[in-house]
Chains A and B, each alone.
Chain A
Amino acid sequence: MLPTIGIWELNLKTGLLEWDFVTKSIYEIKDNYFPDLDSAINFYAVPKYRERITTLTQNLITTGDSFVERFEILTPKGNTKWVESSAQADFENGECVLIYGTFQDITTHQTLLETVQLNEEKFQKAFEFAPIGMALVSTAGNWIKVNEQLCKITGYSEEELMGLTFQDLTHPNDLDKDLALVNQMLSKEIDNYEMQKRYFHKKGYIVWVHLTVSLVWNNEGEPLYFISQLNDITERKKASEELQREQQRLFQTIEGTNIGTWEWHIQENVIIYNERWAGIVGYTLEELKPISKQIWNDLVHPDDLEMSNIALEKCFSRQTEYYECEYRMKHKNGDWVWVNDKGKVIDWSFDGKPILMLGTHADITHRKNSEQELKNTLDLVSEQNKRLINFTHITSHNLRSHIGNFQMLLNLLLEETDELKKKELTEFLLTIANDLQETIHYLNEVLQIQTNLNQQVKKINLFNEIEKILVSISGLIIESSAIIHTDVPLNTYINYSPEYIESVLLNLLTNAIKYRHPDRNPVIYIRTQDSEKYIILQIEDNGIGIDLNLHGQKLFGMYKTFHTNKDARGLGLFIIKNQIEAMGGKIEVESEVDKGTTFKVYIKNQ
C-alpha cells in the first residue's frame, strides 16, 4: 500500500519548492515536474481556497503560526480532490528560512462525511414528516424527540410531550406488558419488540396503536435511547372488534336456532361442519374425523341420496337458486333423523362452476313424526269412513231386498184366495224372515269388527294356531283326501285377536278344500314370509281358481259368490277381510282358473 501522506518544503533562501513523490501523485503530476510557488498556487482552482492558502502561508512566514486545513484542488487531469495540508515554519535570527509540512488526499473521507451529513438531514426529514408516529425515548421513558404525527396521535404538542413520560400516556392495563418487554430488551434478551397497546389521548379517549420499539446502544455497550414507531390502529381495531361482535352474534344466533352449518368448497371437495351439525346425528366433530363429504354420503339414508343429488344438480345448473331437501340421516343410536337441508352457492368460477356453497341442517324429526302421525290418523279415519259408507250401502241393500220381497209377497197374499197358494206364500214369508234375521246377525258381526278396532290382541304362536284349525277340520280333510303342507317356523309369533286369526284360517282353509278341482285331490301349501312390516301368511291351493278379471273387484264384498256352489254364502271373505284390516293388515289374492288360488294375509309385524 502506498503511503498516503506526502511531504513538501519551501526553502525561502533559495526559493526552491520541493514535493516528494506522494505529494506529486496527489497532484497527479510526473516525477520530473518541478513546481514553483506561482504554479503551485494554480492547483487551488477555487478562489476561496486560493486566497485562504495564500493568507495562511504569508501568515506562517511572518508570524510562524502553523496550520492544518482542508482544501479543494484541481489536478491537471481535471480531477477535483480534497486534501489536508499542514505547515510549519523554521526561523533563523528572527527570519523565516524554511516552511514545510504534510499533504494528504482526504477526498474519500470528505465524501463520506458529506454523505453522513446528508443522511442525517434525510433522517431528520423522514423522522419529522413520517406518516407514522416516531419518537426517541430515554431509557427512563421521557420523550426526547417526537414527530408531528405522534403529536397528532396523542393530541399533545411537542412541548407538552417533553414534560411527560410514555408511562403517563399508557393505559394501565398495557403498562406491565410494555415495561416487561422494555426490560427484556435492556437485558439484551430481545433486539426489539412489537405490541398493540392503548394510549390515552389528551382528550381522554383511548387510542389503539401498533408499537414497534428498538434500542440504540453506544460503543461502550450502554443503552442510549429507544426508537419507537407508533401506528394508529384505532379504526382498524374498532372494525375488527365490530367484526368480532358480528361473528359472536352470528355464532349465538346459530347456537340459538340449534341448526347445523356446512361450508362446502366444491372444487377441492373440502367441507367444514359446525359442532351442531355432528350433534344432530349424535356425534361430536372429533368422533367424525377425518371430516369429508363422504361422512355425509355415509349417513344419508340410501333411498334419499338420489333425491338430494338431484336437488344439488338443479342448484349447480342454476335451475334453482336455493338447494333444499328433506331426508333421513342415521343417528349414532341407529335411529333415522329427519333433516331439512338448505343451501346456496355463494361463489361461482368465471366459467360457471360452483366454488363455494353454504348451508344449514335443521333437525325436523319431531315435525316429520307429527306429520306422519297426523297422516296415519287421517288415513285411519278415511279408511274407517270409507268402510262405514260401504257398510251403510251393504246394510241398505241387503235389508231393502228382504223388505222388498216382504212387501211384494204381502201384496200377493192379500189378493190370494186359494188357501193352498196362501200357505205357500206364508212359507215364503217365513223364509224371508229367517233370511232377514241372519242378515242382521252378520251385519251386526261386521259392525262389531268395524267399530271395535281395539280388539283384544294376544301373542299367538301361528304354527300352533294352524295345527289347531287343521285338527278341527280333519273330517273335511279326510273326506276330500286333501294333502296339507305346513311350512311355518315353529317360533312364528303374531299379536292378533285369537278370534280373528281362527276365523281367517278356518275360512281360507275350508275354501281351499271346498273349491277343489273335480279332477284332482286338493294339495294345500301353508307358508309364511317375512317382510319389513308384515309377516305374510300364504295359503295356496290347486283348486278350480277364480276368474279375477271378472270377479277381482268384488271378491271380498258381502253376499258375493262366484261359484254355483250350494254352500256359498258370500260372507266368509267379506268378514275376514274386515277382521284382517281391523288388525292393521291386508289380504291379497292371486288366482288362475283351473290352476288354483293363493291368498296372502298380511299380518302386522310387531
Chain B
Amino acid sequence: MNKINTAWIIDDDKILTYVLQRIMGTVDSFANIEIFPNGKEAINQLAVARKNPESLPDIILLDLNMPVMDGWQFLDEFEKINLDKKISLYIVSSSIDTHDHNKAKKYKTVADFLIKPIGKKQIEQMVESHQP
C-alpha cells in the first residue's frame, strides 16, 4: 500500500473533519493530516509550503461550502499557483447538484468529486490511485 506523507482536509464542518481523521487513521497510510476551516487559510499555508516542496500535501480533500473563501474560490487560486509537486485534489461535498459536478470538471486539478458521506473504502481507493 502507498504511503501518503501529508493530507489536507479543507472543511468548516468540525464533525466531518473529526470523522474523516478517524477513518483515515484506520486506513493507516497517512503520516500527517492537516485541517483548514476554510479555503483562505489553506491558500495562505500553500504560499508558505511551496518554498519547501517536502511540506506540500500529497492529497487535498476540499469541501465546497465554506465561509470566507469557499471551495470554488480556493480552486481558482490553487490553479494559479505553480507547484513542484503533484497533488491529488478531491472535492468532498454533499452537493448532488449536476451544476456543481459539471463545474468541477472544468478544473483540471480536480481528480474526482466525492459525495458525502464517504467511508473507509473511498479513502483506500484514493490512496491506491495516488501516484507520487
**A residues whose Cβ falls under 8 Å from a Cβ of B:** 393, 396-397, 400-401, 403-409, 411-412, 415, 428, 431-432, 550, 554, 559-564, 568, 570
Contacts and interface: CB of A to CB of B under 8 A. Distances in A.
Contacts of A412: 19, 22-23
Max chain A Cβ within 10 angstroms of own Cβ: one of B15, B19, B68: B15
Max chain A Cβ within 10 angstroms of own Cβ: one of B37, B38, B70, B116: B116
Contact of A408 (B65, B68, B97, B119): B119
B69 A401 contact: no
Given A405-B16, A411-B119, A561 B67 contact: yes
Contacts of B18: 428
Contacts of B73: 550
Given A404-B16, A405-B15, 4 more contacts: A409-B19, A560-B67, A563-B67, A564-B67
Given A401-B116, A560-B67, A562-B67, A408 B96 contact: no
B94 interface: yes
Nearest to B116: A404
Interface string B79-117: 000000000000000111100000000000000000011
Contacts of A407: 117
Nearest to A410: B117
Contact of A559 (B15, B65, B68, B69): B65
A397 B68 contact: no
- Tell me whether chain B's interface is mostly helix, strand or loop, or mixed: loop
Contacts of A559: 65
Contacts of B28: none
A401 B95 CA distance: 8
A510 B94 CA distance: 31
A323 to B, nearest CB: 47
A401 B97 CA distance: 13
18 contacts: A397-B65, A397-B95, A400-B116, A401-B16, A401-B65, A401-B116, A404-B117, A405-B16, A405-B19, A406-B117, A407-B117, A408-B19, A408-B116, A408-B118, A415-B26, A550-B69, A562-B67, A562-B68
A405 B95 contact: no
- Tell me whether chain A's interface is mostly helix, strand or loop, or mixed: helix
A570 B116 contact: no
Contacts of B23: 408, 412
Contacts of A560: 67
A411 B26 CA distance: 12
Report, as a range, how many residues of chain B touch the other chain: 20 to 34
B97 A393 contact: yes
Max chain B Cβ within 10 angstroms of own Cβ: one of A393, A408, A559, A561: A408
A308 to B, nearest CB: 44
Contacts of B69: 550
Contacts of A411: 119
Contacts of A405: 13, 15-16, 19, 116-117
A200 to B, nearest CB: 93
Contacts of B19: 405, 408-409, 412, 428
Nearest to B41: A564
A408 B67 CA distance: 23
Given A400-B116, A412-B23, A550-B73, A432 B15 contact: yes
Nearest to A398: B94
A400 B119 contact: no
Max chain B Cβ within 10 angstroms of own Cβ: one of A400, A403, A406, A428: A400
Nearest to A405: B15
Interface string B4-28: 0000000001011011101100100
Contact of B13 (A393, A397, A401, A564): A401
What 9 A-B pairs come out closest when comparing CB atoms?
A404-B116, A404-B117, A561-B67, A401-B94, A400-B94, A407-B117, A408-B117, A408-B19, A405-B15
A397 B94 contact: yes
Nearest to A554: B70
Nearest to B37: A564
Contact of B15 (A396, A403, A428, A564): A428
B114 to A, nearest CB: 11
Max chain B Cβ within 10 angstroms of own Cβ: one of A431, A561, A568: A561
Contacts of A406: 117
Nearest to A561: B67
Contacts of A554: 70
Nearest to A550: B73
A400 B117 CA distance: 9
Max chain B Cβ within 10 angstroms of own Cβ: one of A405, A407, A568: A405
Contacts of A561: 67-68
A408 B94 contact: no
A315 B19 CA distance: 75
A456 to B, nearest CB: 35
B67 A396 contact: no
A561 B70 CA distance: 10
Contacts of B13: 401, 405
B16 A408 contact: yes
Contact of A397 (B16, B26, B97, B119): B97
A396 B99 CA distance: 14
A568 B96 CA distance: 25
A573 to B, nearest CB: 13
Nearest to B76: A550
Contacts of B65: 397, 401, 559
A408 B16 CA distance: 8
